[in-house]
Structure 1
């Protein structure tokens, strides 16, 4: 059974369930009755859970998934209705909650694996895409439904989509707002791969355990290099690879790992 870390004095702690694995943590969005849609409390609980994971020296990977039949449907729209009838400031919500979460996932010191179980819609889809590795159950669907509500894709959607699947497909996915199956998402390169529904979490745990078994310094620097490559030109990226490789080679364990590799060979 999962070892759930909960604070009985803080109801928001129930919104994120934390399972401790061997070298990794599973963070589960836990509002299944709302298809794990975000409210302010869940934003705060997830950021706190990420803080705890990053501060844990034994943790080298995180799995992000959802409770129940969905991964996340983005913003809980019921929270958007103001008692005074005035329109909410959606930009303020992005500034305060969603954009910091996306930036946190991208800059996290070790990999985050999204295990998408069921629907990932709106901001929920783009939060999944902000993770380092995305796997999905065959029943999962990705839905950029923003234009259906007269909105603009956010949480990095207009940045991730063209880079992952190309401009033509990105425009269709964003403008039509129609569901994309997990199989199609994998075929297009939006996500890494799909698996049978019952195999989703075992597969995610296996990936996390394999990452956790690697020398952590190299994993962290590799993630840093890949993130920088999105905006660097080749010359700048080559220089960064040189600098990071020099840093990695100075790690005290590097020489011993090379010796061990040569002995095995």
Structure 2
């Protein structure tokens, strides 16, 4: 097993092929700026890809919020990640929070966001970088950048319209309004809504079911799902043929087939 990374502002656990990353700066509502959470998230993303014992990554928040996004006090003071002229702020975004979407886009295993509370601004965008979102009834979602006179600088405008379509993403982004978990489910932002006390149990059930699938085929399937979004059909089918050839020659394929035959014989 690849050694787990040392984290500063988050906690990481691994149980039954399911890794859980908990953002642990509830004192600032798990803000992604002004904390070490960017580095922690990237370290975990890289570790997951190097660890064959992981089949699912769950991301959640400690305390009352999933993530409040950017630190508004730093914005008001023109400090921290928001200090300096245009060139300085631009470079800090590229070297800071913009590393999150790039790192999570490269994660080879399914990512489930367990949205325990408000996911606002960059916190909303972080949730949208996952493959699946399950929300507590206490969760709220807001693409609130324009309310602060800024744009979604972490790639949020890219993720949300691919998730729910241009028109609805445009309305949420330009209005800056905050929606509750049920409205987010109606729009297709979240898959399910749970009572707060049942959230992690439900996420665990889903994660465990996915993690029980053959691990190498699971990683290849996620790659296919992502590549299907940007590949022409003919090229995609060629890739499927190669990946299928890999799967047919993996021991886990024969193990799964034999298990199925045994089940059918009963």
TM-score, structure 1 as length reference: 0.88
The aligned residue for residue 16 of structure 1 is 10
Q: What residue in structure 2 maps to residue 26 of structure 1?
A: 20
Hey, what's the Cα distance between the residues in 1 that align with 2:183 and 2:155? 20
Please show how residues 115-264 of structure 1 align to structure 2 within 5 Å.
Answer: 115-264=114-263
Counterpart in the other structure of 2:90? 91
Deviates more, 1:61-70 or 1:156-165: 156-165
Distance of 2:72 and 2:257 partners within structure 1: 54
Deviations 1:8-32 (A, max 9, x none): xxxxx34101223221121111111
Structure 1 unaligned runs (5+)? 8-12
Deviates more, 1:242-251 or 1:133-142: 242-251
Question: Equivalences for 1:68-79 in 2 at 5 Å?
Answer: 68-79=63-74
The equivalent of 1:82 in structure 2 is: 79
Residue in structure 2 matching 1:56, options 51, 60, 63 = 51
Specify the SS of the correspondent of 2:130. coil
The two structures, once aligned, show a CA RMSD in angstroms of 2.2
Distance 1:121 1:93 in 2: 20
Query: Is contact 2:8-2:36 (8 Å) kept?
Result: no
Point out the more displaced range, 80-89 or 159-168. Answer: 80-89
Q: Quick check: 134-143 or 187-196, which moved more?
A: 187-196
Q: Is the 8 A contact 1:119 1:140 kept in 2?
A: yes
Contact 2:42 2:99 in 1 (8 A): no
Distance 2:68 2:85 in 1: 21
Residue 48 of structure 2 contacts residue 107 of structure 2 at CA under 8 Å; is this kept in 1? Answer: no
Task: Rate the CA distance shift 1:231–1:56 in 2: closer, same or farther, 3 A.
Answer: closer
Q: 2:112 is paired with a residue of what secondary structure?
A: strand
Kindly tell me: are residues 181 and 146 of structure 1, through their superposed partners in 2, closer, same or farther at Cα, counting changes over 3 Å?
same
What TM-score do you get using the length of structure 2 for normalisation? 0.88
The superposition leaves residues 122-171 of structure 1 with CA deviations (integer Å, 9 ceiling, x where unpaired) of 11111111111111111211100011112222333212222221222111
Shift of 1:242: 2.0
What is the distance in 1 between the residues matched to 2:102 and 2:123? 15
User: 1:44 and 1:164 mapped to 2: Cα distance?
Assistant: 26
Q: 2:42 is matched with which residue?
A: 47
Residues 15 and 45, structure 1, Cα contact 8 Å, conserved in 2: yes
Cα contact 2:143–2:173 (8 A) shared by 1: yes
8 Å contact kept, 1:107–1:224: no
Cα distance change of structure 1 residues 42 and 237 upon mapping to structure 2, 3 Å threshold: same
